[in-house]
Amino acid sequence: MQAIILAAGMGRRLGEYTKDNTKCMLPINGIRLIDRTLTQLSRLGLSRVIIVVGYQAQNLTDYIGHRYDDRLKIEYINNPVYNKTNNIYSLALAKEQLAQDDTILLESDLIYEDSILQLITDNPAQNIALVAKWETWMDGTVVKIDEDNNIIDFIGKQAFKYEDADSYYKTVNIYKFSKEFSKHKYVPFLNAYCEALGNNEYYEQVLRIITFLNSTDVKALPIGDRKWYEIDDVQDKDIAETIFADGEDRLQKFNRRYGGYWRFPKLLDFCYLVNPYFPSRRMKDEMRANFDTLLTQYPSGMFVNSLLAGKYFGVSQDYIVVGNGAAELIKSAMEKLEGKIGVVFPTFEEYPNRYKAEDIVRFVPGNEDCAYTADDLMRFFEDKAIRTLLLINPDNPSGNFIGKADVLRLAEWTGERNIRFIVDESFVDFTDDYATNSLLDDTVLQCHRHLCVMKSISKSYGVPGLRLGVLASADKELIDFIKKDVSIWNINSFAEFYMQIYDKYSGDYNLACKKFIAERNRFLHELTAIPWLKVVPSQANYFLCKVNAPHTSGELTRRLLLEHDILIKDCNSKNALKERNYIRIAIRDQRDNDCLVKALKEL
Q: Give Dmax (Cα) for the chain.
A: 91
3-state secondary structure of 344: strand
539 & 448 share domain: no
pLDDT at position 141 is 80
- Flag whether pLDDT at 295 surpasses 80: yes
Is the alpha carbon torsion for 46, 47, 51, 52 positive or negative? negative
Cβ contact 8:21 at 8 Å: no
395 in a domain, yes or no?
A: yes
- Flag whether pLDDT at 84 surpasses 70: yes
- Flag whether pLDDT at 277 surpasses 70: yes
- Flag whether pLDDT at 139 surpasses 90: no
487 in a domain, yes or no?
A: yes
| pLDDT tens for each residue of 435-490 | 999 999 999 999 999 999 999 998 899 999 999 999 999 999 999 999 999 998 99
- Flag whether pLDDT at 215 surpasses 70: no
Measured CA to CA in angstroms, residue 384 lies from 31, 276, 343, 380, 406 at distances of 56, 40, 12, 8, 20
pLDDT at position 322 is 97
206 & 318 share domain: no
| Cis, bond preceding 531 (omega within 30 deg of 0) | no
CATH assignment of the domain containing 576: 3.90.1150.10
Q: How confident is the model at residue 262 (pLDDT cuts 50, 70, 90)?
A: confident
330 & 453 share domain: yes
- Flag whether pLDDT at 216 surpasses 80: no
399 in a domain, yes or no?
A: yes
State which residues form the domain around 414. Answer: 281-507
248 in a domain, yes or no?
A: no
- For the chain, helix, strand, coil in percent to 5 are 45, 20, 35
470 & 535 share domain: no
| CA-wise closest residue to 3 among 111, 130, 127, 98 | 98
Q: How confident is the model at residue 174 (pLDDT cuts 50, 70, 90)?
A: very high
pTM of the predicted structure, to 2 decimals: 0.89
46 & 158 share domain: yes
pLDDT at position 137 is 84
Whole-number average pLDDT of the chain: 94
521 & 480 share domain: no
256 in a domain, yes or no?
A: no
382 in a domain, yes or no?
A: yes
Which DSSP symbol is given to 319? G
| pLDDT tens for each residue of 499-518 | 999 999 999 999 999 999 99
Mean pLDDT score, 376-398: 97
| CA-wise closest residue to 72 among 25, 112, 117, 37 | 37
441 & 317 share domain: yes
CATH assignment of the domain containing 433: 3.40.640.10
38 & 183 share domain: yes
Chain centroid to CA 455: 23
Reported as half-sphere exposure (CB side, CA atoms, 13 A), residue 137 has a value of 20
| CA-wise closest residue to 575 among 354, 426, 353, 378 | 353
pLDDT at position 105 is 97
Q: CA 516, CA 510: separation in Å to the nearest integer? A: 10
CATH assignment of the domain containing 205: 3.90.550.10
470 & 500 share domain: yes
What is the count of structural domains for the chain? 3
H helix runs in 214-345, sequence order: 234-243, 247-255, 281-289, 291-296, 302-313, 326-336
Reported as half-sphere exposure (CB side, CA atoms, 13 A), residue 169 has a value of 23
368 & 320 share domain: yes
| pLDDT tens for each residue of 329-375 | 999 999 999 999 999 999 999 999 999 999 999 999 999 999 999 99
3-state secondary structure of 20: coil
| 191-195: Cβ within 8 A, 24+ apart | 191/92, 191/95, 193/88, 194/88, 194/89, 194/92
62 & 98 share domain: yes
246 in a domain, yes or no?
A: no
559 & 491 share domain: no
259 in a domain, yes or no?
A: no
More confident residue, 37 or 136: 37
- Flag whether pLDDT at 103 surpasses 90: yes
